[in-house]
Structure 1
Amino acid sequence: MNNPKTILITGASGFLGTWLSREAVKAGFKIYGIDLRTPLQPQLWENFATASLDTVDLEQLMEGCTLDAICHLAGGASVSASVKDPFGDFSSLLPGTARLATYLKKSQAQARFFLFSSAAVYGNPESLPITEDTPIKPISPYGIHKAIAESLLCNYARIFDLNITIFRIFSVYGPELRKQLIWDVSQRALSAEEEGVKSITLFGTGAESRDFMYVKDVCQAVLTVISKPVSSKIQIYNLGSGVESSIAEVAELLVNNLGVDIKIQFDGIVPKGDPANWRADISKLLNLGFTPRYNLNEGLHQVATWAKAIH
């Protein structure tokens, strides 16, 4: 990259923000960051604000810098937490989103705004695969707030002449993610093996399905889109693998990669806000030249290796 592009990443110390920062630097980007937590690799960053989006001095953080893109990852990242505290989830996303867009309008109008939204905006779709044109019908506060953020930015793009790209991310996973299904199964299965317990019980029926995308593939998809010319003021991309996998299948495959003899059982209780089945149509992403590199077994092998090392 002859003229390195400059990216501001919010939620920069989270799971995906950390991975994206590494992959962006490898690809030749210059990165700035905002998060309440300090970054794991401070040497990667041109500048970093350990602050909230409500309080950070954006002008000072980006002083003298011409920004090419904002990757907005800050906000809640849990459906269950949003059900327990809807207003907290709302507050973690919407005010900061509006503040960033206002900053672009005022000081960095040339920059593109990339919102890291979620497939949760689709809720329970009537048919699969899910395209970017599938109606938005969220069934959790988390999905509702992502949908509101999308609407806010699309309207800001219209009245303030901003360039907005929305990533609807399906089920991202990988090493260092210390929450959600794959983390839970790995830790419980390893503990059960140590304790001589022969089975673990998970929520749901096991027939629920998701579209799992390995974190490195997510990052490469994002960087692919960032590197392409703007084709319209508002763009929407599904970020998934295009492959539907049942929860039972994922759990069994993970246990096999962990090398433990543990049986997976299900309690039949589906948590509130969880959709039944997901599979993404990723045609728009593939048309840009992106191809996922990791299949589910390869990705879970990477997670299993990491999980055993830290357990």
Structure 2
Amino acid sequence: MNMAPTILITGASGFLGTYLADEAAKQGYQLIGIDLRAPLRPHLWVGFATSSLENVDLDQLLKGHHLAAVCHLAGGASVALSVNDPYGDFSSLLPGTARIALYLLKNQPQAQIFFFSSAAVYGNPKTLPITEHTPVQPISPYGIHKSLAESLLANYSRAMGLKATIFRIFSVYGPGLRKQLIYDVSLRAIRAAALGERSIQLFGTGLESRDFLYVEDLCQAVLTVLSAQTNTDFAIYNLGSGVENTVADVANCIVKHLGIDIEVTFDGKVPKGDPLNWRADISKLSQLGFSAEYSMNDGLKQVADWAKALA
């Protein structure tokens, strides 16, 4: 009999889900997944459903399995798309979150659900660093819906005994992520250089800042919390590096690692729903023994090597 602890990962074939599965498998976890797409490495999974979370047959998928945890990553993953289609973003997250939580309460009450939320729930905080007690004031549909899912799980925990942990994830990046700032700059810089152009222009002022966390460090942070022996039924953790970097500095650094002589300029227009400045207080996470291994410079070099291989 396999006594390895079993984790269910929703959104298992996405960027984070794929990395998390790799790292969890290395640490001896048995994996079951749900995603609309088939997994990149099928051999890692003892069970996998290519389905939406709303339609999957959970009883059949999990038959005979005693879950230790659910890592719930399914749902929308774009502020811009949520602004264009708020209801679509809502529908991709809230019904599935309710379904998996209620399934656990009825069938696997021992299992803890780890919800992958976002720092977007904080909106534009008045002070930095952002702690887990900073007021939740989202400014995008994406942040609003993450906040609603957090509230749903918090109240299920309070009123019904659900074991739930919230991860408020800051700006995760790494090879394989084909969206957001770092990938966008890489792609545009490579294309501009190929065309002989001397500059690229980004949204904003360049002074906007983020707390960037390399994807492998994010996975280690998640697994650190999963393995911690805590006595609480509900908890919230900021997952970040604790370091603030401006968009301009990050963009110029990735261009440097690409080996491209090109100027990065800004149009001064901040997109709707984008916060201005973020830096996480990760004291709570650090108390469990976590510290990021990748510096911003090291992480961006990894992304640049990947992006150059794609070109």
TM-score, normalization: structure 2? 0.99
- Give the 5 Å matches for 1:282-301: 282-301=282-301
C-alpha distance after superposition, 1:3-52 (max 9, x if no partner): 42110000000000010000100111111000000111111101100000
Residue 176 of structure 1: CA displacement? 0.2
Letter in 2 for 1:34: I
What is the match of residue 107 of structure 2?
107
What is the match of residue 27 of structure 2?
27
Letter in 2 for 1:141: P
For the residue of structure 2 that corresponds to 1:46, the secondary structure is strand
What is the match of residue 48 of structure 1?
48
Letter in 2 for 1:153: L
Q: Hey, what's the Cα distance between the residues in 2 that align with 1:310 and 1:108?
A: 43
Count of residue pairs the alignment pairs up: 310
C-alpha distance after superposition, 1:138-163 (max 9, x if no partner): 00000000000000000001122111
Cα-Cα RMSD: 0.8
Pair 1:156-2:156 in alignment: yes
C-alpha distance after superposition, 1:77-136 (max 9, x if no partner): 000100110000000000000000010011100000100000000000000000000000
Q: Hey, what's the Cα distance between the residues in 1 that align with 2:151 and 2:126?
A: 22
What is the match of residue 170 of structure 1?
170
Letter in 2 for 1:284: K
Q: Which deviates further from its counterpart, 226-235 or 178-187? A: 226-235
For the residue of structure 2 that corresponds to 1:32, the secondary structure is strand
Q: Hey, what's the Cα distance between the residues in 2 that align with 1:158 and 1:282?
A: 25
Residue 230 of structure 1: CA displacement? 2.5
Q: Hey, what's the Cα distance between the residues in 1 that align with 2:70 and 2:176?
A: 23
Q: Hey, what's the Cα distance between the residues in 2 that align with 1:284 and 1:185?
A: 33
TM-score, normalization: structure 1? 0.99
Q: Which deviates further from its counterpart, 131-140 or 155-164? A: 155-164
For the residue of structure 1 that corresponds to 2:67, the secondary structure is coil
Q: Hey, what's the Cα distance between the residues in 2 that align with 1:192 and 1:85?
A: 31
C-alpha distance after superposition, 1:183-222 (max 9, x if no partner): 0000110111111111000000000000000000000000
For the residue of structure 2 that corresponds to 1:68, the secondary structure is strand
Structure 2: gaps spanning 5 or more residues: none
Residue 251 of structure 1: CA displacement? 0.2
Structure 1: gaps spanning 5 or more residues: none
Pair 1:38-2:38 in alignment: yes
